[in-house]
Amino acid sequence: MKWITRERPKIDRIACPWLIKKFVDADAEFIYVPFNEVLEKAKKLDAIPFDIPDVEFTHYNEDCTFDYIVKKYQIDDPAVLIMAKIVRGADTDRHDLAKEAAGLWAISAGLSHNITNDAELLETGLKLYDALYSWAKHLYKQNHLQNSPFENLLHEVYKKFLIEKKSSQKTPLWVKELKNIIQDQIDAQFTFDLKKISNDLELNPSYLSREFSKYFEDLNFGEYVRKLRIEKAINLIQNSTYTLTEIAYMTGFSDQSHFTRIFKLQTGKNPSSYRKNRLKSNSDTKGKQRSI
């Protein structure tokens, strides 16, 4: 079987090949091409397209393509089901689904940055998912410090120290400067470059990443930015006549489906329902005012 998807894979487009090779077809061949060539090349090469819109093997509601393959081929391996939640969280920016999701995203993004050849990236990525599978199958319930009471005690003391230190610490000047930088970008072109921001603030990027959540509502950099983007989207929905596609673009989302997914995650409603409720609320208010 041949499978084809868009180039420069990160999460689903490497996790799915691993799953297919492991549980569906060990001899499967995977092809990466530019997005606008996937369907054309799929017909020409008699390959199955996956992880793109409007094909069978793709995202459905809150599930990613990895989830669909698990259901399609009725894969009931407990380790794969553990992995599925992690892959879904990493691929859809819902790191709350599994604590390992943020780590999978970070490592996958780093691999994609370091390896520019997609075939080589796939080969390396398959080893990553082999390791994740072994962890899910054999080590899922094992903690790093569980066999070392002394290290565990030190860990608890250190956490207590950090909490006490945080409570007595004044907000650093860089926090205010960073809030201004983020707000400027939210109101402009949405070009968030953590390395550049670190240079502007004269801070080490690792330090900034580590300290960020302490001063920004216990959210990491990406989560905080997405929160502000959704807040701006809500404002545009309430106070403008832009289409939802235009609002998605204006608030920095790569496509409307991603915008809809994040909006629903933040508000509990999709953008179209939110707009309809808002219009109905305004109409009801005007009706009441006229009756008075």
φ and ψ at residue 29, rounded to 5 degrees = -115, 140
Q: Give the H or E element holding residue 180.
A: helix 173-186
> pLDDT-derived band of residue 102, with 50, 70 and 90 as boundaries?
very high
CA dist., res. 190 & res. 226, Å (int): 11
Q: What is the mean pLDDT of the chain?
A: 84
Quote the CA–CA distance of 246 and 189 in Å, as a whole number: 14
Second CATH level (architecture) for the domain 173-287? Orthogonal Bundle (1.10)
**Residue boundaries of the structural domains of the chain:** 2-139, 173-287
pLDDT tens, residue by residue, 48-63 = 999 999 999 999 989 9
3-state helix, strand, coil in the chain (%, to 5): 65, 5, 30
> pLDDT per residue over 120-174, tens digit each?
999 999 999 999 999 999 888 776 655 555 555 555 665 665 555 555 556 777 7
The residue behind tokens 């939802």 is: 244
Percentage of the chain beyond pLDDT 70 is 81
- Mean pLDDT confidence for 19-41: 96
**5 forms bridges with which residues in the sheet?**
32
Categorize the per-residue pLDDT at 285 as very low, low, confident or very high, splitting at 50, 70 and 90. Answer: low
* DSSP-derived 3-state class of residue 170: coil
